[in-house]
Structure 1
Amino acid sequence: MSQHAAPHVTVQDFDPQRHPQLLRHLGPALGPWERETGAANARLLTIVSPGGTITGAALITARSTGAYVKIAGILALDAPTGEETIRGVLNYAYQQDLACVKWEHWTHDPSLATLAEQTGFQALPAPRYAMDASASIPLAGYVHWLHPARYLRTSHYQQSENFTCAAVAALAAHGETTSIAALDDLRTSELLLWRQATNFMACEPIGLGLAVAERWPDSSVTVSLDTDKPVIVDYYPEAERSWRGILQAESRRQAETTGLPLTTTRLEIVKIREAVSNGARVLLLVSLQQMLGYDIPHWVLCHGTAGSTENPVLVLDDSWVNSDSGETWVDVTCLPIPIQELDEMSCLEADGYRSALILTA
């Protein structure tokens, strides 16, 4: 067990077999306390009285590599101890030099909403789902930034299919995951954009750039890809790679014909942060190995900056929610990732190429 801040605040790894029973005097440990959280780096922060009794507890989790902690559940003997517990989490996050603390609410409890406001949390926009959510979801989410943050405040939209991450990232970059009112229309836009850009099943960067340029002709898109070989093909059997390469060669030909800007020098991570700081949105291709434990190519939207001088972060929106590890939409909206971590996870396949789309108004 490690000690943080004051002697009466303790933080330790969460044991789902033991801790809910240990905390039952605080109330029923239901909902998030019962979920499978082993892959979500779950920890338990407790407030302990001078007599050794636990008077408050917070279940805190985070996606691997994320520069944040999320309060998934809170139990306390009384309201003042509940506030003390929240402030204990904030202090713990400060000491870890994290970018923010998030808090998900599983009930419509006005007192919790009031407490969130009193402790400096801001409400996150409500999420949107074109399909029925596969698991129970928090009713509200909040964020407390510990350092100045600039980012796009948009409703999180969970991709409706396993393969439509690029389309959702592009729609989110243009604010359309919020502005398209009807969910049926939003899902239609998601699928049509994916179909236009896909290299089956993934979206390769040049084809995606062509689709984005056609979909939003008033905005500027530049494709950055530091290899001339077919990409996102190592994940397929050898027999299925050649025809994808032919389609990607056709995308290059179309890019040359239409004048789509394409840079072939490596886009350094500091340049991505600089572009985002100047108002650009960047669609970045990453591997999910470091964040979720499986090497699958995945498009995310980089849309903000935060963090301290010593630990700068890029703020992402990820349309994939790994509910099996206890994640919810609160984790993946305005998700802060340290730039050094993002630098590593955006080196793809054996060649270690980097691919991104820089979008400007």
Structure 2
Amino acid sequence: MSGFGTPAVGEAPAVFEEFGAELVEVLGEERAAWWRKPRSPYRPALAVRRSEGGEPLAALLTSGRPATAAVKIVDLWCAATAAGLAAAESLVDALLEERALAGDAAVKWEVAPGVSLPPFAIARGFAPMRAPWGAKGTERFAGFVTWLREVPHEELGYYAQTTLYTCGAVAGLMAVEARGVVGFAGSGAGDRDREIGFWREATNHPACEPIGLAVRLREEVGSVAGGDAADDAPVEVALDRTGPVLLEDYQGFEFDYRAELQAHSTARAEALGVPIARERVSMEELEARLNDGWVALLLVDEEPMHGVTGAHWIVAHAARDGMFLLEDPWVEDPAGESWVDTHDMPVAAADLDRMVRWGADGYRGIVWLRRA
């Protein structure tokens, strides 16, 4: 990240330390600790505007996941003077211009408790994001976004998984809202019970493989009165590999019983009328189906976003001109992420194409859910 034309730019906290003493003085210890938080590898950058005499007038801290098309304003400070406000507006304007030139779809703004969104942000299109049902303690932040590329959509509700292994369950329970089914309700312990219960019925220990997840999702949407009447096959699977999947690290008994569970899920899918297509889905087809009344649960490799390989489930719910909007149940809160990063997360087709694959063969697993 270049720093949008400012004289002092780089990764936080390294660059923060260069200006640390004077910024601690203006920010206060508690707020400065948030600025110092290690945010690598999420592209942290600090930009500072100064007066002719070298006094700091405004400072802007940003971050953003690799392989996504959004940057988040973590915080903005400015001196309580006309010059400070002008410097703050200049920093934000420069950021918006740079991210538009870079092809990003959105700039988000995370607002901590006790901090207000400056009035000039509204004039630049920053609008409130839908508050999450649950977000691992990061619900305390308010979220705002201004769209640099238009992707027409209605926001899905957001919930952050509370375990390392319930991403598939959470993805499914977020997606069902598009079907008119209540997944989460913002009810704290009740929502976590739903998360764990759905996972227990869909899991292949500990992961949810595509067909088993689709079967549980089909049962979920069919359990609501009228849920079966809208169409014959509200849930479908696209998996361009036959045989068991997500078992690359298992052998012997550990492989065999999981493979048997997957065979049972395949038989159950047939009984429920869940079609399983074996052709590979392109990003063009994914976009077309999203615009034709579907949402998609995507099996992805997290490596492009986090630098560490891992199987994970996310939800794609809108797309336009090669830009996709995703709900990612995982929030890397120890590195400064919040629900603001992972709700309505834009990703370009080329990056999503790298993510939606798993294993040495790079097979692609997608669970389709038809909207109401």
- Settle same-fold status: TM greater than 0.5: yes
TM-aligned CA deviation for residue 324 of structure 1: 2.4
TM-aligned CA deviation for residue 168 of structure 1: 1.0
- Give the structure 1 partner of residue 78 of structure 2: 76
Instruction: Give the direction of change, closer, same or farther, for the CA distance of 1:262–1:89 in structure 2 (3 Å limit).
Output: same
Q: Do structure 1's residue 101 and structure 2's residue 115 form an aligned pair?
A: no
Query: Whole-Å Cα distance in 2 between the matches of residues 200 and 280 of structure 1?
Result: 28
**Aligned residue among 176, 190, 194 for 1:189:** 194
Amino acid at match of 2:262: Q
Amino acid at match of 1:342: L
TM-aligned CA deviation for residue 2 of structure 1: 4.8
Q: Do structure 1's residue 243 and structure 2's residue 257 form an aligned pair?
A: yes
Instruction: Give the direction of change, closer, same or farther, for the CA distance of 1:260–1:271 in structure 2 (3 Å limit).
Output: same
Query: Whole-Å Cα distance in 2 between the matches of residues 60 and 337 of structure 1?
Result: 18
1:236-280: CA deviations, max 9, x gaps?
455522211111111112222332111011111211111112231
1:159-189: CA deviations, max 9, x gaps?
1222111111111112267762533332222
**Aligned residue among 95, 98, 105 for 1:92:** 98
Q: Could you tell me whether the CA contact under 8 Å between 2:203 and 2:213 is conserved in 1?
A: yes
- Give the structure 2 partner of residue 230 of structure 1: 244
Query: Whole-Å Cα distance in 1 between the matches of residues 68 and 274 of structure 2?
Result: 34
Q: Do structure 1's residue 204 and structure 2's residue 226 form an aligned pair?
A: no
Query: Whole-Å Cα distance in 2 between the matches of residues 127 and 178 of structure 1?
Result: 13
Q: Could you tell me whether the CA contact under 8 Å between 1:287 and 1:298 is conserved in 2?
A: yes
Query: Whole-Å Cα distance in 1 between the matches of residues 55 and 198 of structure 2?
Result: 56
Q: Could you tell me whether the CA contact under 8 Å between 2:184 and 2:191 is conserved in 1?
A: no
Query: Whole-Å Cα distance in 2 between the matches of residues 360 and 341 of structure 1?
Result: 25
- Give the structure 2 partner of residue 127 of structure 1: 132
Structure 1 vs Structure 2 CA RMSD: 2.5
Query: Whole-Å Cα distance in 2 between the matches of residues 178 and 31 of structure 1?
Result: 36
- Give the structure 1 partner of residue 318 of structure 2: 304
TM-aligned CA deviation for residue 27 of structure 1: 3.5
TM-aligned CA deviation for residue 113 of structure 1: 5.4
Query: Whole-Å Cα distance in 1 between the matches of residues 162 and 184 of structure 2?
Result: 17
| Farther off after superposition, 220-229 or 185-194 | 185-194
- Give the structure 2 partner of residue 13 of structure 1: 11
SS state at 1:234 partner: coil
In the alignment, structure 1 segments of 5+ residues that lack a partner are: none
Q: Could you tell me whether the CA contact under 8 Å between 1:106 and 1:137 is conserved in 2?
A: no
Query: Whole-Å Cα distance in 1 between the matches of residues 188 and 4 of structure 2?
Result: 45
Query: Whole-Å Cα distance in 1 between the matches of residues 3 and 340 of structure 2?
Result: 27
Query: Whole-Å Cα distance in 2 between the matches of residues 236 and 293 of structure 1?
Result: 23
| Farther off after superposition, 212-221 or 225-234 | 212-221
TM-aligned CA deviation for residue 206 of structure 1: 0.7
Instruction: Give the direction of change, closer, same or farther, for the CA distance of 1:109–1:295 in structure 2 (3 Å limit).
Output: closer
- Give the structure 2 partner of residue 347 of structure 1: 357
Query: Whole-Å Cα distance in 1 between the matches of residues 76 and 118 of structure 2?
Result: 13
Trace 1:103-118 onto structure 2 (pairs within 5 A). 103-110=109-116, 112=117, 114-118=119-123
- Give the structure 1 partner of residue 329 of structure 2: 319
- Give the structure 2 partner of residue 61 of structure 1: 63
Q: Could you tell me whether the CA contact under 8 Å between 1:316 and 1:336 is conserved in 2?
A: yes
Q: Could you tell me whether the CA contact under 8 Å between 1:177 and 1:186 is conserved in 2?
A: no
TM-aligned CA deviation for residue 104 of structure 1: 0.4
1:129-161: CA deviations, max 9, x gaps?
38x63xx66521111100112234133211122
Q: Do structure 1's residue 270 and structure 2's residue 276 form an aligned pair?
A: no
- Give the structure 2 partner of residue 33 of structure 1: 35
Instruction: Give the direction of change, closer, same or farther, for the CA distance of 1:331–1:181 in structure 2 (3 Å limit).
Output: closer
- Give the structure 2 partner of residue 180 of structure 1: 185
**Aligned residue among 143, 146, 149 for 2:145:** 143
Amino acid at match of 2:173: L
TM-score by length of 2: 0.86
Query: Whole-Å Cα distance in 1 between the matches of residues 119 and 306 of structure 2?
Result: 33
| Farther off after superposition, 70-79 or 39-48 | 39-48
SS state at 2:41 partner: helix
Q: Could you tell me whether the CA contact under 8 Å between 1:285 and 1:346 is conserved in 2?
A: yes
Aligned length, in residue pairs: 351
TM-aligned CA deviation for residue 23 of structure 1: 3.5
1:98-125: CA deviations, max 9, x gaps?
1100110113344x25343232101112
Q: Do structure 1's residue 336 and structure 2's residue 341 form an aligned pair?
A: no
Query: Whole-Å Cα distance in 1 between the matches of residues 273 and 133 of structure 2?
Result: 35
1:46-103: CA deviations, max 9, x gaps?
3344565542221110011111110011111233332332222212211212110011
Amino acid at match of 1:322: E
Q: Do structure 1's residue 288 and structure 2's residue 310 form an aligned pair?
A: no
TM-aligned CA deviation for residue 30 of structure 1: 1.6
Instruction: Give the direction of change, closer, same or farther, for the CA distance of 1:27–1:172 in structure 2 (3 Å limit).
Output: same
- Give the structure 2 partner of residue 357 of structure 1: 367
Instruction: Give the direction of change, closer, same or farther, for the CA distance of 1:88–1:194 in structure 2 (3 Å limit).
Output: same
Query: Whole-Å Cα distance in 2 between the matches of residues 41 and 221 of structure 1?
Result: 37
Query: Whole-Å Cα distance in 1 between the matches of residues 88 and 319 of structure 2?
Result: 31
TM-score by length of 1: 0.89
